[in-house]
Amino acid sequence: MPDSKNAEPDPIAIAGICERAGAHSITAHLRADRRHIQDRDLERLRENIVTKLNLEMGNTPEIVDFALRLVPDEVCLVPENRQEITTEGGLDLIVSKKELTGTVKRLHAAGVRVSMFIDPTRAQIDAAVALEADIVELHTGKLANAYTEKIEQQELERLRDAATRATNFNLQVNAGHGINYRNIALIHKIPHLVELNIGHSIVARAILVGFETAVREMLAQMKNYRG
């Protein structure tokens, strides 16, 4: 989609509101089809935000080259399927090890910290360590979508185990996907978390109360996390 002076809303203006409300970082997902954000918007974010820019991206040559020109503070490598509405699961680091190895080295050489968006399994944690990732972002979608208490507890145990294992390997542990103002109480039960990446729920809430209030309300729900 080409840039347009009439395009709305302006992500830079919204990022500024979120930062003033207390957001600790700004995350944007640059997809191959540019459905979420445009290259120029990311360049403007890089120039204007005062916190931290986290670039979510697939491991494709064009996007990697763009990231190396942009030099965000962090990159989170995610799986990408053109047919999906949103990211549907974690990146399989074992299957993609060969392709990811070179990308991690290039990003590190540029001074960019690298995160891997993964399902909460021991095998994926171990693969992240082998790839020399700095961060893992645990996919919380199955916990968020659990439709029985039994499944909820199973997913919670998987997340707890993965977070502990990652911490033991000195990886920073983040979490994201499907987190909202209700189920964030469950996220408090996962140890060692440093950051949460929450998008859709805040945007949906902002329609009713505005971005500043929506961000402040979510930050209030994060308070008293004991890790």
What residue ranges do the domains of the chain occupy?
11-222
Contact 205, 168 (CB under 8 A): no
Catalytic one of 19, 29, 74, 192: 29
Instruction: Examine the pLDDT at 203 and tell me if it is beyond 60.
Output: yes
Smallest Cα–Cα separation from 79: which of 102, 61, 60? Answer: 60
Instruction: Examine the pLDDT at 227 and tell me if it is beyond 50.
Output: yes
Percent of the chain exceeding pLDDT 70 equals 94
CA 110, 163, 155, 27 torsion-angle sign:
negative
Beta strands in the chain (DSSP E): 26-30, 53-57, 74-77, 113-118, 135-139, 172-176, 193-197
DSSP state, 210? -
pLDDT at 35: 83
**Confidence band for 6, pLDDT divided at 50, 70 and 90:** confident
Question: Residue range 174-181: average pLDDT?
Answer: 97
Helix (H, G, I), strand (E, B) or coil at 107: helix
Is residue 99 among the annotated active site residues? no
Catalytic one of 56, 80, 137, 195: 56
Q: Largest alpha-carbon pair distance within the chain?
A: 50
Read off φ and ψ for residue 186, nearest 5 degrees: -70, -35
Tens of pLDDT, residues 49-104 = 999 999 999 999 999 999 999 999 999 999 986 554 455 689 999 999 999 999 99
**Confidence band for 2, pLDDT divided at 50, 70 and 90:** very low
Instruction: Look at the domain 11-222 and name its fold.
Output: TIM Barrel (3.20.20)
Q: Which two tokens stand for residue 42?
A: 């990311």
CA 35, 40, 44, 45 torsion-angle sign:
positive
pLDDT at 87: 56
pLDDT at 80: 80
Contact residues for 149 (Cβ-Cβ < 8 A; gap 6+):
none
Quote the CA–CA distance of 68 and 182 in Å, as a whole number.
37
Instruction: Examine the pLDDT at 133 and tell me if it is beyond 80.
Output: yes
Contact 53, 46 (CB under 8 A): yes
Is residue 36 among the annotated active site residues? no
Catalytic one of 137, 155, 177, 195: 177
Is residue 29 among the annotated active site residues? yes
Tens of pLDDT, residues 114-131 = 999 999 999 999 999 999
pLDDT at 8: 80
